[in-house]
A and B are shown apart, each in its own frame.
Chain A
Amino acid sequence: MIWSKEETLSRKEIEALQLSRLQETVKRVYEKVAPYRAKMDAAGVRPEDIKCLADLAKLPFVTKQDMRDNYPFGLFAVPKDDLVRIHASSGTTGKPTVVGYTENDLKMWTECVSRIACMGGATKKDVAQICFGYGMFTGALGLHYGLENIGAAIVPSSTGNSEKQIMYMKDFETTLLVATPSYALRLAEVARELGVDPKKDLKVKIGLVGSEMLTDAMRAEMHKCWGDEMLITSNYGMSELMGPGVSGECEYMDGMHINEDYFIPEIIDPVTGEVLPEGEKGELVITCIKKEGLPLIRYRTKDITRLTYAPCKCGRTFCRMENLSGRSDDMLKIRGVNVFPSQIEEVILGFDELGPHYEIVVERDGYLDKLTVRVELAHSTDSFAELERLAADVKGRLKTMLGVDAKVKLESPNTLQRFEGKAKRVKDLRSK
């Protein structure tokens, strides 16, 4: 089922709607948000210069740093009186980024999430357990209002206390699970420890996962735990833009449909800032065209993906963004080619003979960049031929995936460094 008629507008209608909303938003922020006006003046661009959608590229970018510099409300386009909700993302470094919503913003948010939940198979019959942390984080409340709007029964169980989560799931006959992919796996593990088989003893048939990258390997792992019939779709968003609901996968799971009547996506080269053609991989930049409280223009998400405007089997006309393949912060430039650690991870996870831990070393050899990938064997072997074949296979697949040659170093199990917090797997030894 398709939630709203907007989702099937023709390309022409979408573009007309986008242009008028973009022009209105640019004009409004130019008038009302001093830091925007300063940025636009510095770039020599005025609201009336936006005559077509391609003119979007004339506008300056906004980054997380801009939000910090204008903490807390400096980028807001409405007086504080008009706000009805304030969220913040916990900044691990520096000030948090603060976002605010007007009543219309909340309505739009609910609409966006309703569409995404509907794409993922949610109906009013569902019992939806939301295992995202409630609080300043936008994830839980975003899904909460969207699913409630559809008519599902919400179980706002939040995160933690996994044993109780399983009890609710069993006793309330939960059919829909909202969680990060890794927490969904953890919950299945806890269920089994309690003697509950998620496939037989629970009724969860829909998974709406987000706030973490969902790789094919991760989705396959989730199916193993929760059963093959479970429909697992990923959705995307970030609090700066609204929260969850910017985009989501339909049942064909071939990229996430972006709510284009509210957001204009662009893909740029993260180094040069140049807009890239359709289909090329780069950093996602999003412009909010219908928000009142905090309408960010050309916000650099730092997320790496690509776009397609090809028609989707589901009938929706909104363009799709591929499931994320990394963060531009992590991007490495090797012999002129953009390489993401996540691509290397994907190759490594594809080999049963290798453990999941790895280290990436980049060095400069004369004028050439040299990439070395250190991987751990999952178990020892007595066959030398097997080792040589394995090293050659890994090298071959890395070359196909990355487009550059990498040296593969096999290591004994348990020799590479382990991390408790955020893993630091890249050693860039090139002098900048």
Chain B
Amino acid sequence: MFAKQLSVFIENRQGRLGEVLNVLKDNGVNILSLSLADTTEYGLLRLIVSDPESGKERLAEAGFSSILSDVLIIEIPHTAGSLQGLLKSIETAGVNVEYMYGLSIEAERAYVVLKASDLQAAATAIEAYGVKTVTREQLSSM
């Protein structure tokens, strides 16, 4: 039910982001989505990639430390207010959404990557709300 996210800590120095992306490209790790949260000092790069384990290993060899964590990838129906309704259902279940960013795999469908305080409870709430989550197996076959 969960997908794996690869997070990399990077200092805000000229070229650091590019170095990370290069390592992944050179090793054939495909980036499906990316989000960067940063201050003037450092940033946290969060990635959904084709092969997270290999991405983590290749980055470690290049001197970057990263970690893998569980996230939910949720398909968002193309109707007004669907995202708002989805978030409300998670909130009602008493779960806190930590962060969220968009993901586009197929032309007609929209997805979001979501991290919550209690991922299992969030997944249950989403299911009850009637939207689908994408597993990592499904993700790799897309």
Contact = CB atoms under 8 A, between A and B. Distances in A.
Contacts of A388: 39
Contacts of B124: none
Interface in B9-24: 9-11
A382 B41 contact: no
Nearest to A386: B44
Interface in B63-99: 63-67, 69, 98-99
Contacts of A413: 65
Contacts of B44: 381-384, 387
Contacts of A387: 9, 42, 44
A380 B7 contact: yes
A409 B46 CA distance: 20
A384 B35 CA distance: 12
A377 interface: yes
A410 B66 CA distance: 14
B36 to A, nearest CB: 10
B11 A381 contact: no
Interface residues of B, number: 21
B69 A382 contact: yes
Contact of B67 (A379, A410, A412): A379
Nearest to A410: B42
Contacts of A383: 44, 98
B95 to A, nearest CB: 16
A411 B39 CA distance: 13
B8 interface: yes
Interface string A352-387: 000000000000000000000000010111111101
A415 B41 CA distance: 15
B24 to A, nearest CB: 15
B142 interface: no
A414 B62 CA distance: 11
Given A387-B42, A410-B41, A411-B11, A382 B5 contact: yes
Contact of A381 (B10, B41, B64, B67): B67
Interface string B41-59: 1101010000000000000
Contact of B7 (A382, A411, A414, A415): A382
A414 B63 contact: yes
Contact of A409 (B5, B41, B69, B98): B41
Nearest to B38: A384
B103 to A, nearest CB: 16
Nearest to A376: B65
B41 A380 contact: no
Nearest to A414: B63
Given A410-B41, A411-B11, A380 B67 contact: yes
Nearest to A378: B65
B9 A412 contact: yes
Contacts of A409: 11, 41-42
Nearest to A377: B9
Interface centre among B8, B11, B65 (most CB of A within 10 A): B65
16 contacts: A379-B67, A380-B7, A380-B8, A380-B65, A381-B44, A382-B46, A382-B67, A382-B69, A383-B44, A384-B44, A409-B11, A409-B42, A410-B11, A410-B42, A412-B10, A412-B11
